[in-house]
Amino acid sequence: MADAKLFTRGKVQELRDELRQSGDRRDKGFLRKKTALKKVVANMTMGNDMSPLFGDVVQCMAIQVLEIKKMVYLYLVNYGRSRPEEVTAAISGFLSDCNDRNPLIRGLAIRTMSSVPLPAIIHSLTDPLRHALQDSDPYVRKTAAIAVAKLYASDYGKRTVEKEGFVALLRDLLADHNPTVVANAVASLVEISDRSTDISLRLNATVAGKLVAALGECSEWGQIYILDSLLSFVPQSHMDAEQLAERISVRLQHANSAVVLTTIKVVLYLMNYMEDESLIRMLERKMGPPLVTLLSSGSEVQYVGLRNILLIIQRRPAVLQNEVKVFFCKYNDPIYIKLAKLEIMYRLTREENVSEVLAELKEYASEVDVDFVRKAVRSIGRLAIKIASASDQCITTLLNLMQTKISYVVQEAIVVIKDIFRRYPNQYESIIGTLCENLDVLDEPEAKAAMIWIVGQYADRIENSDELLEDFCFTFKEEPAEVQLALLTATVKLFIRRPTAGAELLPKVLKLATEEAENPDLRDRGFMYWRLLSNNPAAARDIVLAEKPVISTETDRMDKGMLDQLLLHTGTLGSIYHKNPNTFIRTARARYLPDSPALNASSKRHLISANGFAASSFNRSPVPSGSSTVPDATGAASGVPPAVPSRPAGSLAAPGAEPISPISNTANDDPYGQLADLDFGGGAGAGTGGGYETDMPRPRGADEDLLF
């Protein structure tokens, strides 16, 4: 019977009759029995409930035909857990098959019993599994090795594995002469160590060397298991790491991308324990071509490769420092590939290749995909900040793009130009007039906030700055908090730089911020500016107009210690998310770079342990965000605001207005009165702006115990 005809919905009673009537002597070779079982398996595959046939199928276990046994065991794996009382009737058949002369049947019985983790089955499996781990046939041994890990996944099986000493038997299999058995034993030990809090896999130099020797005869998936287990080897000398890295580096030329990425992961790990700089450079050169080869695969594999490359080049820039052209986007690349390539292009751009990268980015700005165009324009601005010698080119490119009058291009350009002003003060103010010509196209909060910041920061150089800010004030109540905060701070700057021009506008904005705003941050900042300007205008000038810290691209980079930690997950889901797996998978564990006498100074300086961050890790400033609100906004005190006076007082009153009673400075009457005495240091709130939002999430280390 053709296999396609088997996949028709059959009635349970009809299938039962076929099973019972197919056992007579006329059924030579059990052909009718095989056909009946195939129908059962086909219906089971289609989702039809075949569990009522449990007893009839179990009776077929006595037939010593491998094909029939495979189908019976497949049925038992599928329905064994749902019928724990009936499955015990199959135990005698299991035990008989575990002692069968045919190693395929012995292995099949062990595999099936370990896939039905019921207490009765596990109890009966203990002795056969112990013998199978020492069986003379490698097929049985490799099957038994995986069976131990499957048992360990259940609570009852976990206790059995620990009690019966199966882990020690697995460890002995690491010295097996069959490479497939070794690979399965390694895979099982790694799985157990990942699940256990008491058992951890640790390899010494001798065992690690034997595992590497078995690589050449293993299947590609066996190679992945063995290579991954080498992360459990902690080199105690530079020579151990260097020799092991040289031996496995030949796997970089493998055709399987998973083998390549796993090899790269191990080599990057071992580099932390190397001292020979020439060898490190040689290994970095070797890693480049395999990574580039990943870009010729399908889009899905490309994306995995690109996300891993983004991590690798941040820690080891020399790996692909001359390969920026291979990351230029193709017209038919999916958007997620294009965005990933953009980030890598930015990382690899240097003075030597910035011109060709800028030309490429300018071409991208004329694409039809809005998100891609925005990222391309933002990358141009980031390059201006990263490479000082190319800032003129970048500004010229941005101005040319603004001439297209495309709304989202103009707005994104204004956002990045604001950051360029921060990076190069008093250098490109001549283009402010061009920016102001595009006020009418601004409809996005980030672009509005950036333009308002520019107007406020250079209020004394823009003749009609008060009129521009007043135009924004007409829609103050409807604007998002980001724009409102920017407008409040810009108005204060206008008043400080040009008191006459801002004397009328500032009270209006403060009144809106403190009386009609719902956002508590906006109200608090309004009260803070109000009290500060009322009580000490000189201090207000020093605080609001304080020199801002220069923007640096150093904040774009992930901490080296965190990179070392994430690179231990190369080729896994964690390397795509750029997060430790334990942050999004409940049962996963974080990996940590283990300390060792061989750990080089650079890695030790940024080492993150299971107990927390190294002291040097706290020296880095928090990463600011380029899309945040006004870069120099001062923080406001928390608490419930007092009753709001009807209008500002003191120096905020317009010239010639009738005097207003001064505000009391006592704590009881005015809980905000002490704000004027706060020491905001050099540049209040400087940490709220100047960085960039990248595709790369900033992961956070975990506090689990050290696995290695």
Distance CA 386, CA 397 (A): 16
Percent of the chain with pLDDT over 70: 84
Q: What is the dihedral of CA 339, 340, 342, 343, to 10 degrees?
A: 120
Separation between Cα atoms, residue 25 and residue 32, nearest integer Å: 11
Q: How many CB atoms lie within 10 A of CB 696?
A: 18
Most confident residue range from 153-167, 230-244, 423-437? 230-244
d(CA 578, CA 595): 23
DSSP designation for 204: -
Which class for 445: exposed (0-12), middle (13-18), buried (19 or more C-beta within 10 A)?
middle
| Vertex 181 angle, CA 175 and 182, to 5° | 45
- Determine if the pTM surpasses 0.75: yes
The SS3 call for residue 4 is: helix
Q: In this structure, is the dihedral angle defined by the CA atoms of residues 119, 121, 124 and 130, taken in order, positive or negative?
A: negative
Rounded to an integer, the average pLDDT of 619-643 is 36
Eight-class DSSP state of 609: E
Alpha carbons within 13 A on the beta-carbon side of 312: 29
Token pair belonging to 639: 């608490």
What range defines the domain where residue 539 resides? Answer: 468-559+623-696
In a domain, 475, yes or no: yes
- The mean-pLDDT minimum among 233-247, 535-549, 632-646 falls in 632-646
Give the model's pLDDT for residue 17: 84
The rounded radius of gyration (Å) of the Cα atoms in the chain is 35
C-alpha 19/C-alpha 63 separation (Å) is 13
Q: Say how far apart CA 37 and CA 464 lie, in whole Å.
A: 88
Give the Cα separation of 531 and 274 in Å (integer). 59
**Tokens standing for residue 608:** 């993150």
| Residue 220 and residue 263 in contact, taking contact as beta carbons nearer than 8 Å | no
Is 645 contained in some domain?
A: yes
Instruction: Give residue 559's identity as a one-letter amino acid code.
Output: D
| Pairwise CA distance, residues 582 & 605, whole Å | 24
Q: Please tell me the predicted confidence (pLDDT) of residue 414.
A: 95
What six digits make up the tokens of 358? Answer: 């800028």
- pLDDT tens for residues 272-316? 999 999 999 999 999 999 999 999 999 999 999 999 999 999 999
233 pairs with which residues across the strands?
A: 203
Q: By mean pLDDT, which of 297-306, 459-468, 481-490 is the weakest?
A: 459-468
614 in the Ramachandran plot: left (φ > 0), alpha (ψ -120 to 50) or beta? beta
Cβ neighbours of residue 681 under 8 Å, at least 6 residues apart?
A: none
| Strand 612-613 with 608-609, pairing | antiparallel
- Asked, for residue 472, whether it belongs to a domain, the answer is yes
**Least confidently predicted of 176-180, 584-588, 687-691:** 687-691
The answer as to whether 290 is a domain residue is: no
Tokens 């974080």 sit at which residue? 590
Question: 552 pLDDT exceeds 60?
Answer: yes
Q: Is 608 helix (H, G, I), strand (E, B) or coil?
A: strand
Tokens 């094909």, residue?
Answer: 67
With 50 as the cut, is the pLDDT of residue 708 above it? no
Q: Which of 79, 106, 133 is the last residue of a domain?
A: 79
Residue 640 pLDDT: 32
Total domain count for the chain?
A: 2
Domain boundary among 50, 79, 108: 79
User: What pLDDT is attached to residue 200?
Assistant: 85
Position 676 in a domain:
yes
Q: Look at residue 481 and tell me if it is in a domain.
A: yes
679 located within any domain: yes
The Cα–Cα gap between 697 and 185 comes to: 36
Spatial distance between the Cα atoms of 304 and 295, rounded to a whole number of angstroms: 10
Residue 550 has pLDDT above 90, yes or no: no
Residue 574 backbone class (left: φ over 0; alpha: ψ -120 to 50; beta: rest): alpha
- Residues 348, 318: Cα–Cα separation, whole Å: 9
Between 114 and 199, residue with greater pLDDT: 114
Please say which residue of 27, 58, 79 terminates a domain: 79
Q: Tell me, yes or no, whether 600 lies in a domain.
A: no
Sign of the dihedral through C-alpha 350, 356, 359, 364? negative
Question: Is pLDDT at 405 greater than 70 in this prediction?
Answer: yes
* Inter-residue contact 55 to 61 (CB < 8 Å): no
Output b/e per residue, 338-359; b: 16+ Cβ within 10 A.
bbbbbbbbbbbbeeeebeebbe
Question: Are 558 and 698 a contacting pair, CB within 8 Å?
Answer: yes
Q: What is the DSSP string of 22-85?
A: TTSTTSGGGHHHHHHHHHHHHHHHTT---GGGHHHHHHGGGS--HHHHHHHHHHHHHHTTT-HH
Helices then strands (H, E): number in the chain? Answer: 35, 2
